[in-house]
Amino acid sequence: MISVNNLSIHFTGTDLFSNVSFLVNDKDRIGLVGKNGSGKTTLLNIISGGIIPQEGEVVIPSNTSIGYLRQEMETNSQKSIFNEALTAFDETLKLEKRISKLNKEIADRTDYESKTYNQIIHQLTEANERFQIIGGQSMQGETEKVLAGLGFKRSDFQRPVTEFSSGWQMRIELAKILLKKT
């Protein structure tokens, strides 16, 4: 549950909104509507942590993640859409590199009985366990599934992000939000 309590924002001496309070329960689906300039984007920026309110608070449980797709975005990525979508798996990709480095380090060593060798084995075991827990083995498949679900063809996966219109680039950003685990 997300709790918004007595939020107020003022710009140039004028209230954009004041004393706004509401709850968002698990499974709620909410539409936010209003005139241009009424504070919809500002409210979403506050909830996502991009802006600090002048008054009030937003309480978000620690096990809750917020995905926020901005209205305006600028993408200069030279990556393929598939590789750009994979950036949602930041921790997983870092772990994959660490596991590779540790495997190479183990392969190059011959001091099998040393304390250092055992420490490396222990680090590799922990990294592999974490990789499994966060679903590292399925990130490629999940990425394909989400991209296809958003209307991308398999033949598009290796095309550069810059070849796509801003609307399709927005879908890539949405894919990254949907793929993010934390």
DSSP for 163-178 reads GS-HHHHHHHHHHHHH
The CA distances from residue 20 to 43, 49, 84, 173, in Å, are: 9, 16, 37, 29
Neighbours of 152 (CB within 10 A): 21
**Tokens 């991308």 — which residue?**
152
For residues 15-33, average pLDDT:
89
pLDDT of residue 163: 92
The predicted model scores a pTM of 0.70
Residue 163 CB-density burial (10 A; 0-12 exposed, 13-18 middle, 19+ buried): exposed
pLDDT per position as a tens digit, 101-154: 999 999 999 999 999 999 999 999 999 999 999 888 999 999 999 999 999 999
Which one is predicted more confidently, 125 or 12?
125
Contact indicator for 56, 39 with CB cutoff of 8 Å = no
Distance (Å, rounded) from C-alpha 112 to C-alpha 73? 52
73 pLDDT above the threshold of 80:
no
Q: What is the rounded distance in angstroms from the CA atom of residue 50 to the CA atom of residue 121?
A: 41
